Amino acid sequence: MSKSKSNFIDKLLGSQTQVEFSDEEENLLNLIHERGGRCNIKDLSHLMDQSAAGIVDLAQQVCDKGVRIWKEDGVLYLSGTTIECLPEHVVIKENKIRIGILADTMLGSKYQQLTGLYSAFQIAEHEGVDVMFHVGVSAGKPTPSKQEEFFLSTAAKQIDYIVANYPKSDKFKTKFVSGFHDMQWKKDNLNILAEVCSRRDDLAYRGDIQSDVSIRRGQAKDKKWPMLKVVYHGGDTSPYSKSYPVQGLVENLIQDVDDLVGEKTPDVVVVAGQGVYLDLSGGKVRNLYAVPGMRLISPSILRRKNRAVAPSIGFVIVTVTFEKDGTFAVKAKCYPLKGIKNDYREKFSKNQEFLRGLNSDERKVLKLLEESPKSSGELEQAINKSPETIDSIIFELQSKGFIISEMNASKNFKLNSVFKKKFNVPPINFDDYFFETVREGDISDTHIGSNSELVPIQEEAFEIFSKRGITVVNHGGDVSNGSPKHDEHFKGEVREFRASPLIFDIIRLLPSRKGIQICMIAGDHDRWFLDTVGLDLIAHVAQARPDINYLGIQDGERRSKRIITLLKHFNWGTGYARSYKPQQVIEDSILKEIEKEPARFRGKVVVILSGGGHVYCSMLYKGVIFILLPCLQSRTGFINGLGKISDVGFLIHSITYSKDGTLTRFGTEYFDRTAKALAFLRKRKNLHRNVKKSRARGYKPRTVKAKRSVKKSKK
C-alpha cells in the first residue's frame, strides 16, 4: 500500500497504524468507499476483473487486517455503513407462519431485562414461532450524562456479553435488525450486531433500521404474497402520544396515490421504538402494529422536561394464515412480561454457589445489603444482634470475597454488585401461565334510525360471533341515532327519530343469536331523549329483549372472574394521534381509581372498551387494555364536514390470564368493513338518484295530460 493512505482507511483502522495493504486490497476499499460504503459483488467483479469468489476472498483478507467488511445479499459493506438488506423471501409449506417480534432490550444497560428475554423465548417456543426478529438489541454507546446507566460501556464488552448470554432456540432462528442505540456505534465504524451474528450460528443479521420479508406459500409467482416490514422508528425522545410516530411512519411509506392503488405498500408493518403495544390496523396499511420494549425506564428518560412514558415490557407474535382461495389473514398477539429491578445484578442470596460456606446470620445480612445500603443500627435491628456481632459478620463476608464498603457520608454499609454471567431461568408452567382465555365480540355506534345505519354488517358480525363460539358481545353505545338534536331530519340523514317507533326498530333490527348476551351502554345519541323528555330509550329496549344486559348511560362495568370490563362512551372525538385520549383516560382516571381502591383491582385484568370515537385502536398501556371501538355506521354529513372517514367494522378480543390473575396474552381480531360501508353508501345514493329520476319521468307527463284534458272539456 502507498505511504499516503486514504483518510477514510486511517479512520477504519483506528489505532492500528502499522498495517500494510496490497494494491488490490486498497483498490477494493476505494471502490466500495466511492460508492457510499456499499457495492454489489458483481459490479466489483467487473471493475476489478476478478471472479465473485475472488472478490469475497479479497474482502476476507482485508477483514483479517482489521477493516471490517460485511457481506449481505451479494453486497459488500464497509464497517460503519448503514446496511439495507434486500427483501428476504420466506417460503412456507404449511398454511400458517408465526413471526415473533422483540425490541429494545438495551443489553449492557442496568435497565435491561434479560430474564424477561429468556421467558420470551420459552413462550415463543411454546406458541410455535417459526422465526424471531429482534429490532434494537444493545444498550449503545454511553454519553457522559448516561454513563451511570451502563454496566458495560464499550462495544467489545457488549459484543462478548451478548454472544455469551443471548438465549438460543433449537426451534427457530433469530434475526437482528439494528435499532437507535445499536446505530450509535456506527460513529466509531462498528457494526456491533453484525459482529455478534458472525460469532453465533443461530443468529442472522438483517440490516439497519428496517427489514422486509416476503412470505410465500409455494413457488407460484403470479400471486400477491404478503409483505412484512419490520422497522425501528423512535428512540429516547419519542413523543408522549405513542401512536403519533407510528401513524407518521405510515404516511411516509406512501409516496403518492399509486402506492395505494398499485399495492406497493406493505401488508404488515411492525414498528419498534415506541415501547408500547398498539394495533392500528385497517388504515392505509391493513395490518399495523407497534411492539413493546424489553427494558425498564431509565433516569435519563425520567429527567426529561416533557412528559415521558414508561415503556411496557413484552413482545408480539404475528400470525399469517393462508386460506384455500389464496387470500391471507393476519393476527397479532401481545405477550406482556413483568419487569425485574436490577435484573443485570448477580443475586448472591439466591445463588447457591455464593451461599455455600455462609452461616444463617451472614446470609441474612447479605440479603439485606442486596436490597439497599444499610447502617449498622438497621442491621442490628433486622437480625437482633449486637454492634460487635454485626462488625464481625461484615468482616467475615469481606474475607469470603464479598466487596462491602462503608460509605463516608451516611456511614452505611454498601454491597458492591457484580453483573450476572449466567442466566438460569426456570421453565414456565404453561398450564398455570395460560390458565384461562376469554374471547368476546365488540360493536359500537350502530345508530339505528339513521339513513347511514348498516344492518347487513351488523347481521354479518353476529353471524361470525356465533360461528366463533362467542357468548358475550359488548356494545359501546349510540345504539340509536336518537332524537334530531342537530336537525339531521331536515338534511335527509334520519330515517326515524320518534321515540316509540325507534324503540321498536332497535328491538327488531339489532341482531340476536341463540347463546349470545349483549352487554351495552347508552351513548350520547341515546341519551338525547333522556335529556329532553326524560325517556331512557335503551332501558325500554332491554325490557323487551332478554338477551340485552343494560349497564348504564355512557358508563358501565362488568366483572367476569379475573376480568373487569369497563364500557365507556365519550363525547370527544379523536384527533390525529389516536392513542392520546386513551393514554389520558388511563393516567388521569383509571390509574387513580386503582390507587384509591387497590383491593378492588388486585389480581384483575382491566379492559376499557370505548365507543363514540368512530375509529379503531387497541393498546396495552401501563398494564391496562384500552380499545377504541370502530362504528357500524356509514359516512354522514357531519363526518364529511370534518373531512374524515370513520372506521367501520367489529372486533373479537382475546384475553388470557394466569392462575393468579396476571395478564399473559392479549390480542384483537379487527374485521374492517369500511370498504363495504362505502359501497353500501354509493348503492344507496344511486338508488335514491334513480328513484328521483323515475319519479320525474313518471309524474310530469301525466300532469301535463291532465291539464290539457281539462281545457278541452271547457271548450
What pLDDT sits at residue 705? 46
Domain presence at residue 423? no
d(CA 243, CA 252): 14
d(CA 165, CA 330): 33
Domain presence at residue 2? no
Give Cα separations from 135 to 101, 177, 209, 210 (angstroms): 8, 5, 8, 8
The residues, ordered by sequence, that sit 6+ positions from 412 with a Cβ below 8 Å of its Cβ are 373, 374, 375, 406
Buried b (16+ CB within 10 A) or exposed e, 651-661: bbbbbbbbeeb
* pLDDT tier at 30, thresholds 50, 70, 90: confident
Highest mean pLDDT among 22-31, 106-115, 396-405: 106-115
For 555-564, 601-610, 697-706, which range has the lowest pLDDT when averaged over its residues?
697-706
159 and 182 share a domain?
yes
92 and 204 share a domain?
yes
Q: Could you read off the pLDDT of 657-693 as tens digits, one per residue? A: 999 999 999 999 999 999 998 888 888 777 767 766 6
Helix or strand or coil: residue 441? strand
365 and 246 share a domain?
no
Q: Average pLDDT, stretch 241-256?
A: 82
What pLDDT sits at residue 617? 94
498 and 544 share a domain?
yes
Q: Name the strands in the sheet holding 227-232, side by side, starting at the edge strand that comes first in the sequence.
A: 88-92, 210-217, 227-232, 268-275, 287-292, 277-279, 617-621, 624-628, 605-611, 563-569, 555-560
pLDDT above 90: residue 549: yes
What pLDDT sits at residue 701? 47
Last residue of a domain, one of 308, 336, 364: 336
482 and 605 share a domain?
yes
CATH number, domain of 30, equals: 1.10.10.10
Last residue of a domain, one of 78, 113, 129: 78
What percent of the chain has a predicted confidence (pLDDT) above 90?
49
pLDDT above 50: residue 451: yes
Q: Name which residue leads in pLDDT, 218 or 592.
A: 592
Q: Average pLDDT, stretch 467-492?
A: 84
CATH number, domain of 118, equals: 3.60.21
DSSP 183: G
Q: What's the domain count of the chain? A: 5
DSSP, residue by residue, 119-145: HHHHHHHHTT-SEEEEE--B--PPPGG
- Residue linked to cell 413457488: 219
CATH number, domain of 654, equals: 3.60.21.10
642 and 572 share a domain?
yes
Domain presence at residue 111? yes
328 and 403 share a domain?
no
What pLDDT sits at residue 317? 98
Task: Note whether 681 and 461 are within 8 A (CB).
Answer: no
The residues, ordered by sequence, that sit 6+ positions from 440 with a Cβ below 8 Å of its Cβ are 470, 472, 473, 474, 565, 652, 653
What pLDDT sits at residue 576? 82
The parent domain of residue 501 ranges over: 431-672
Q: Could you read off the pLDDT of 123-167 as tens digits, one per residue? A: 999 999 999 999 999 999 998 888 999 999 999 999 999 999 999
Task: Note whether 472 and 520 are within 8 A (CB).
Answer: no
With the CA atoms of 38, 44, 46 and 49 taken in that order, what torsion angle do they form, in degrees rounded to the nearest 10? Answer: 170
For 349-363, 500-514, 625-639, which range has the lowest pLDDT when averaged over its residues?
349-363
Task: Note whether 140 and 154 are within 8 A (CB).
Answer: no
What pLDDT sits at residue 262? 56
Length of the chain measured in residues:
715
507 and 564 share a domain?
yes
414 backbone dihedrals φ, ψ, rounded to 5°: -120, 130
What pLDDT sits at residue 295? 93
494 and 538 share a domain?
yes
Query: What would the grid cell of residue 249 be?
Result: 411512519
Query: What would the grid cell of residue 620 be?
Result: 396495552
Domain presence at residue 704? yes
Domain presence at residue 35? yes
d(CA 318, CA 330): 7
* pLDDT tier at 23, thresholds 50, 70, 90: confident
What pLDDT sits at residue 3? 43
* pLDDT tier at 172, thresholds 50, 70, 90: very high
Beta strand extents in 128-239 (DSSP E only): 131-135, 173-178, 203-208, 210-217, 227-232
* pLDDT tier at 712, thresholds 50, 70, 90: very low
400 and 302 share a domain?
no
* pLDDT tier at 299, thresholds 50, 70, 90: confident
* pLDDT tier at 707, thresholds 50, 70, 90: very low
pLDDT above 60: residue 205: yes
522 and 657 share a domain?
yes
pLDDT above 90: residue 10: no
Highest mean pLDDT among 30-44, 224-238, 583-597: 583-597
Q: How many Å is the maximal CA-CA distance in the chain? A: 136
Q: Could you read off the pLDDT of 60-117 as tens digits, one per residue? A: 888 777 777 877 768 888 766 666 777 788 888 788 999 999 999 999 999 999 999 9
441 and 396 share a domain?
no
Domain presence at residue 343? no
